[in-house]
A and B are shown apart, each in its own frame.
Chain A
Amino acid sequence: MYYRHGDVLFERIEVAPSDGRRSQTEDEKTGVVQRGESTGHAHIIDDMAGIYLFSVFSQRFLSAGKDFTITHEEHKSLTIPEGNYRIHIAREYDYLLNLEREIRD
């Protein structure tokens, strides 16, 4: 089951990784899922109580004990049901460098 909010896609998974490789950045602690580079806009989770956003190496996950709402300056808010999610950031192909990269707005 997928939930898309702009360039961010939440893929529902059964179990989130639970080993010691989890890490959290400052943005993740404050609920910033993805920050735009040029506009400064960001996909932000409104209320982080009961929600754990973390990374395992380069892959990002979210464990939500309750429904949560994600907001962005340009997109409408999206409410996603509780559960475990893998977060995917949309990618695009750079024809100048001939490589793929994450979309940055």
Chain B
Amino acid sequence: MNFAQANSLLQGRCYESRMVGKYVYLKRRNHAIALQIHSSDKLLFTPDGRVILATEWFGGLAIRAINGFLPEPWLVCRWRKHTILYLAQDGYENGWSVDGLVVINLDGTLKCKGRPRRGSLRPMSEVQEEVRELNRLRQRLRQKIRYWRHKAKSKSPCRLTVTSILQEKNAQLRSLQIQSFGIERFFLEGGSETLDSCGEYVLLRARLDERREMVCLKMVCPSTGAAYVSPVQPGIRTVDQALDWMYQVRNYRQNLAAER
């Protein structure tokens, strides 16, 4: 479809707006005509023959509607979270990954709308290479996670240090490495910060990333004098909370009569 065809549909009592499909409307926008799906404009036909494509859509309904109204031979599809604009005869593998507002000119050339550009236009070959690289990284990470999960479960020896663990950027890997290294050893060897302390009890925390953390309560056995740490639920902030959670009671320290 082009502006002239859209204009011919918007005549008479439907001059301002016309329903052209389920949830799909043609609407006048100043001098241009928009294709509206649900309540947002996806295509804009301008009187000079250009078509502006808005790419913030994901569903099958939008794809079908846009493909029905795009000027031939242009088509759109989704591929690995990318919006692809392509020529029907070339196939989507030779198309462009588009983002933001993209203008399809009358001569078939593409450009991003606005100055500075309000979107991006990249050939598919570039996007495919990027996806392949991302997949390789994911695969490597999955292998590492599998390796460290096995190590953590089997408790087999490993050449880790507190520093090397803290340098690991991936939170899941760091968590597994701490467990392979030994939670107790990691916390006692200073890989953590103190959240709260009360008598012989110290609540320690190791940050895995901005959201994830590992919290442990360091205790001293009154009988043997040995220090040990016990992992507690993340989110616990005080020694009292940790003790109450650990023994599933209330006010543990206030009500403790004797301990050995």
Residues on A facing B (Cβ under 8 Å): 1-6, 9, 11, 74-78, 80, 88, 90-96, 100, 103
**Which of B1-9, B52-60, B92-100, B245-253 sits within the interface?**
B245-253
Sample of 21 A–B contacts (CB below 8 Å): A1-B255, A2-B249, A2-B257, A5-B260, A6-B260, A9-B249, A76-B222, A76-B223, A91-B247, A91-B248, A92-B231, A93-B215, A93-B232, A93-B234, A94-B231, A95-B178, A95-B183, A95-B214, A96-B152, A96-B153, A96-B179
**Residue from the list A77, A88, A95, A96 in contact with B260, Cβ < 8 A:** A77
Question: In the bound complex, do residue B233 and residue A2 qualify as a contact, i.e. CB atoms below 8 Å apart?
Answer: no
**Residue from the list A74, A77, A94 in contact with B224, Cβ < 8 A:** A74
Name the residue on B nearest A98 (C-beta).
B234
Question: In the bound complex, do residue A88 and residue B224 qualify as a contact, i.e. CB atoms below 8 Å apart?
Answer: no
A26 to B249, CA, bound (A): 27
**Residue from the list A2, A88, A91, A100 in contact with B256, Cβ < 8 A:** A2
Please give, as numbers and ranges, the residues of chain B lying within 8 Å of A88 by CB-CB distance.
247-249
Question: In the bound complex, do residue A100 and residue B249 qualify as a contact, i.e. CB atoms below 8 Å apart?
Answer: no
Interface size class for chain B?
Answer: 20 to 34
Prevailing SS type, chain B contact patch: mixed
Interface centre among A1, A77, A95, A100 (most CB of B within 10 A): A95
CB of B61 within 8 A of chain A?
A: no
Prevailing SS type, chain A contact patch: strand
Question: In the bound complex, do residue B231 and residue A75 qualify as a contact, i.e. CB atoms below 8 Å apart?
Answer: no
B138 to chain A, nearest CB (A): 21
CB of B258 within 8 A of chain A?
A: yes
Question: In the bound complex, do residue A9 and residue B247 qualify as a contact, i.e. CB atoms below 8 Å apart?
Answer: yes
Please give, as numbers and ranges, the residues of chain A lying within 8 Å of B183 by CB-CB distance.
95
A82 to chain B, nearest CB (A): 14
Question: In the bound complex, do residue A100 and residue B233 qualify as a contact, i.e. CB atoms below 8 Å apart?
Answer: yes
* Complex A-B, nearest 4 residue pairs according to Cβ-Cβ distance, in ascending order: A4-B259, A75-B223, A78-B260, A76-B223
Name the residue on A nearest B152 (C-beta).
A96
**A95 and B233 in contact (CB under 8 A), knowing A2-B256, A4-B256, A5-B260?**
no
Please give, as numbers and ranges, the residues of chain B lying within 8 Å of A94 by CB-CB distance.
231
A93 to B214, CA, bound (A): 9
Name the residue on B nearest A12 (C-beta).
B257
Please give, as numbers and ranges, the residues of chain B lying within 8 Å of A75 by CB-CB distance.
221, 223-224, 260
Question: In the bound complex, do residue A76 and residue B260 qualify as a contact, i.e. CB atoms below 8 Å apart?
Answer: yes
A93 to B206, CA, bound (A): 14
Please give, as numbers and ranges, the residues of chain A lying within 8 Å of B194 by CB-CB distance.
none
A103 to B231, CA, bound (A): 10
**A103 and B260 in contact (CB under 8 A), knowing A75-B221, A92-B246, A96-B153?**
no
Question: In the bound complex, do residue B231 and residue A95 qualify as a contact, i.e. CB atoms below 8 Å apart?
Answer: yes
B214 to chain A, nearest CB (A): 6
A92 to B214, CA, bound (A): 12
Please give, as numbers and ranges, the residues of chain B lying within 8 Å of A103 by CB-CB distance.
230
CB of B176 within 8 A of chain A?
A: yes
Please give, as numbers and ranges, the residues of chain A lying within 8 Å of B149 by CB-CB distance.
96
Question: In the bound complex, do residue A2 and residue B252 qualify as a contact, i.e. CB atoms below 8 Å apart?
Answer: yes
A100 to B248, CA, bound (A): 12
B55 to chain A, nearest CB (A): 37
A80 to B256, CA, bound (A): 12
CB of B175 within 8 A of chain A?
A: yes
